[in-house]
Structure 1
Amino acid sequence: MRSFGDLPRPVLVLEGLGMVLLVLSYLSIHDFVRLPGILASQSVAVGMIFLGVALMVPAAAFLVWRVVQGFSPLLLAGKPTKNDRRSPPPSDKNNQGPQD
């Protein structure tokens, strides 16, 4: 894949939200940012970590799917197909050698 710009827009948005949640949870766990009310607890920070990772899964799955699609012609290159233009192997009748 050439760039992340090839990803669909909803997948990019989910990826961005996941990154924001991961950074926010890291900053709140290490007391760089104070979140209001109930969001300041450790359990909410752990939940944000899991949610952030879950939001990043579609982008990873999409990238893996693109890689598999790119490699599929390479994996099928050795197998003959219906549209293969190579000539069939000669039969035994043609390879008998000179007749006496």
Structure 2
Amino acid sequence: MQSVARLPRLVVVAEAIGGLLILGALLLINHWLPLPAQTEVRTLATVLFIGGVLLMLPAAWLMMWRTAQAIAPQLFNHTDKKR
């Protein structure tokens, strides 16, 4: 059985990029990241935040799915073949 916390490289990279997008949204909202005067800060921060959350969802879903399979293997038709 594989480790519940071990994730594919693509999922880990997507989660890291999502975290960076959320960090960018935080920096924009607090005006720590300068932008040109014509740019709407709240809209850009909202887009970055939503994009970051969407990129982090696959990792959360995969860990939840693997945890559910480890806790209740009978629900997923995984029988223990140690007999």
Q: TM-score, normalised by structure 2?
A: 0.75
Percent sequence identity over aligned pairs: 35
Deviation of 1:37 after TM superposition, in Å, equals 6.8
User: What is the deviation of 1:27?
Assistant: 0.6
Q: Deviations over 1:17-72 (max 9, x none)?
A: 00000001101110111145766521011011001000000000010011011012
Aligned to 1:97: none
Could you tell me which residue of structure 2 aligns to residue 42 of structure 1?
42
Task: Flag the structure with larger Rg.
Answer: 1
What is the alpha-carbon root mean square deviation over aligned residues?
2.5
Please tell me the residue identity of whatever aligns with 1:34. P
TM score, norm. by length of structure 1: 0.64
Q: Larger % of helix: which?
A: 2
Contact 2:11 2:59 in 1 (8 A): yes
SS of 2:33 mapped into structure 1: coil
Instruction: Give, in whole Å, the separation in 1 of the partners of 2:55 and 2:38.
Output: 22
Look up the SS of the partner of 1:33 in the other structure.
coil
Name whichever of 31-40 and 56-65 sits farther off. Answer: 31-40
SS at match of 1:15: helix
Matched residues in 2 for 1:44 and 1:18: separation?
15
Number of equivalenced pairs: 75
Bigger relative contact order, structure 1 or 2 (CA pairs below 8 A, ≥6 apart) = 2
Check if 1:29 corresponds to 2:19: no
Unpaired runs of 5+ residues, structure 1, are 86-100
